[in-house]
Structure formats: structure tokens, C-alpha cells
Amino acid sequence: MNKGRVSTAILLIGLGLWYLAVAVSPFVTEIAYGRTTWPLQIIGLGVLFYLAGIFALNPAMFIPGTIIAGIGGLLYYQNLTGDWGSWAYAWSLIPGFVGIGLIIFGAFKRKMGPVIGGLWNICVSLVLFSIFGSVFGKIPYADKLWPIVLVVLGLFILVGAFKKK
């Protein structure tokens, strides 16, 4: 089985079914183009990537699925709250979404490399989120949090430097 082709086929079929439902159902159209619900389409696309990964036995699809669903979640939050200015620092969560996808991929493949890489991505993402959130003044206590995270990260690297290979 060609996993890439099966994944692509599932994505195309899923997208086609979704937009057919949008075309024939006023309820689905309201979800797709509603003033507060349009980001659900982006989250749904991420879920579609997950389904393609599951049905095609291609766990690599979980990585873009997590990124897309995560961005959809950010857009949903911003759309509901009107806090569009949070993009000034919310973009820094995207490497964390990559990390979550890598962890899920590594768990399915039973490989520690992607899991460790994913954890690093999440750490970097949280540090960036804290720094930029602190700079733009939107995250309470971020000015105290990100220096602590940097110290912990430095200690973690220092301990790792003394491990035997």
C-alpha cells in the first residue's frame, strides 16, 4: 500500500464531502461560514489529517494535523474574544504544535527521537510565548516565568552535557 497516496485520497474525499455538505445543508453552511464558527473548518481540516493518518497507517500525518488544528484553535479563540492582537505572541505556539505532533508520531512509531524532539519544540515554544507575551503585556506573570524557564532549560542542558554517550 502506498501510504502517501492513500492519505492524499482520504484528504481529498474528506474535503469533497465537507464542501458538498456545505453546498446542500444550511446548517453546515452556517458552521462553515458563520461569524463565530468559521475557524472550526480549520480545526476540522486538522482532524481530517488525523483521520488520514489513522486510516492510511501513516502517523506522519499527525504532525501537520496538529499544526493545522492548533492554528484553528488559536483563530477560534481570537475570533470569539476579538483579541486579534494576540497574534503578536500567539504565533510562538506553532513550534509547540509541531512538538505535540512529533510526540504523537513518536508514540505511534514507538521511537523516542521524535518524542524528545517534540519536547524540545514545546519548551522552545513556551519560552518564546512567555517572552513575547511578557513584552506585549498580555500574559500575567510572564515577566517572572520566562527567566525561570530559561534557568530550568539551562540546567537541563548542563545535566545532559555530563552524561556519558
pLDDT at 146: 73
pLDDT at 66: 97
Residue 55, CB-side half-sphere exposure with 13 Å CA sphere: 15
Question: What is the Cα–Cα distance from 35 to 63, expressed in whole angstroms?
Answer: 28
Residue with cell 513550534: 95
**What are the cell numbers at 110?**
514507538
Mean pLDDT of 77-91: 92
pLDDT at 137: 66
Mean pLDDT of 59-68: 96
Question: What is the Cα–Cα distance from 49 to 138, expressed in whole angstroms?
Answer: 32
Question: What is the Cα–Cα distance from 80 to 38, expressed in whole angstroms?
Answer: 11
- Is 165's pLDDT higher than 70? no
- Pairs from 85-89 (Cβ < 8 Å, separation ≥ 24): 85/136, 85/138, 86/138, 88/132, 88/136, 88/138, 89/128, 89/129, 89/132, 89/133, 89/135, 89/136, 89/138, 89/139
Confidence of residue 153 (pLDDT cuts 50, 70, 90): confident
| pLDDT per residue as tens digits for the range 6-25 | 998 999 999 999 999 999 99
| pLDDT per residue as tens digits for the range 25-50 | 999 998 888 888 999 999 999 999 99
| pLDDT per residue as tens digits for the range 96-146 | 999 999 999 999 999 999 999 999 999 899 888 888 887 876 777 777 777
pLDDT at 162: 83
Residue with cell 452556517: 30
**Dihedral class, residue 139 (left if φ above 0, else alpha if ψ from -120 to 50, else beta):** beta
- Is 91's pLDDT higher than 90? yes
